[in-house]
Amino acid sequence: MLQQDQNRKKIWGKKGSLKVTRLNDHIDELRDTLRQSVLDKDHLKLVHKEEKKQAKEDEKDRKAQLKHKQYSEESEESRKKRVYVLNFKGNIAADAVASLREEITAVLSMAENKDEVILRLESPGGMVHAYGLASSQLLRIKNEKIPLTICVDKVAASGGYMMACLADKLIAAPFAIIGSIGVLVQLPNFHRVLKKHDVDYEQISAGEYKRTLSMFGEITQKGKDKVQEDVENIHDIFKLWVKDHRPSIEIEKISTGETWVGTQAKERYMVDEIKTSDECIVDACNDAEVFEVEYEFKKSIQDKLGRVLEESSARLFSRWFERSKDEFYQ
């Protein structure tokens, strides 16, 4: 199944669909809509005339190039740079990695060294192994020597920063939350509740440290010490990862688990530049063809219903919050 309009194509496969949007066209549409209201008719007519003339010349040059070179390697080298925009909105389990891996596979099938990948990243972090996999997907881009720019508009903390530090250029908005280079383990324990009600809990395992802390077993000092050792080992690996990919930072000063806003993070060399992803993409559209690439998995009826209920709950909470705020300030 193929669906397309002026600037968007969605192609369905066995697992899901790959949607590609040419962002140059999107930005042009925004500009055209605005100037329809701002410019007078004569001025607008003149602008359209100049644009048609330029488009005609560009098309003529393109056809001449194809005719003489038959789209040879030389003509491919002379093409405009392409920028591929990906999005990653992470939760605790980094579920977005499922789409990210498909998007990267698609991009790497076409991208060349002259091109660029821009990742818009938003994540407060989560499970170590999940964000380790997400980071490994970004390494695929690095290994192919494709320039990688990562933009953080809101937050890239903990596992989110594990991903962000892989960028060749890391860009953050002024108040984006950056950092939290630390490791946390937390677990409720109901052993004393069970003991109070004379409920036995049996756990059979092989291997001295197969179980250290659990929700129902008794917490021992030996178990706590082992978990502390494991947490510190993971923290050391995390610090080494960040230091390897951003050697200019003073790792001991920024690996305390603290977070900083974008401007503070730049002072600590944790990011390279302060601006929003919108600025980055608009700038790219000035001298490159920019494509947003999104992979969407096929959803069951249950998934769609769950999404509807989730969005409805979010809207109800938002309305309640706004109403409460209004009442508070009255």
Cα gap 130→138, rounded to integer Å:
13
One-character DSSP codes across 8-55: EEEEE-SSEEEEEEEHHHHHHHHHHHHHHHHS-HHHHHHHHHHHHHHH
Q: Among all chains, which residue has been given the structure tokens 């970004």?
A: 138
210 catalytic? Reply is yes
| H helix or E strand, kind and range, residue 316 | helix 301-329
- 12 contacts: CB under 8 Å, gap ≥ 6: 1, 2
Find the catalytic residue in 210, 248, 253, 300.
210
For the chain, what is the radius of gyration of the CA atoms?
A: 26
What secondary structure letter does DSSP report for 298? -
How many residues belong to the chain? Answer: 330
Q: Give CA separation, 4 vs 106, 247, 264, in Å.
A: 18, 45, 44
- Give yes or no for a contact between 292 and 218, defined as CB atoms under 8 angstroms apart: no
Q: Give CA separation, 309 vs 61, 158, 305, 322, in Å.
A: 53, 30, 6, 20
Find the catalytic residue in 99, 158, 180, 277.
158
Cα gap 156→264, rounded to integer Å:
14
Handedness of CA 206, 209, 213, 217 (dihedral sign): positive
- Give yes or no for a contact between 265 and 172, defined as CB atoms under 8 angstroms apart: yes
Cα gap 38→9, rounded to integer Å:
31
Q: Give CA separation, 304 vs 15, 146, 290, 301, in Å.
A: 16, 36, 30, 5
158 catalytic? Reply is yes
**Active-site amino acid positions:** 158, 210
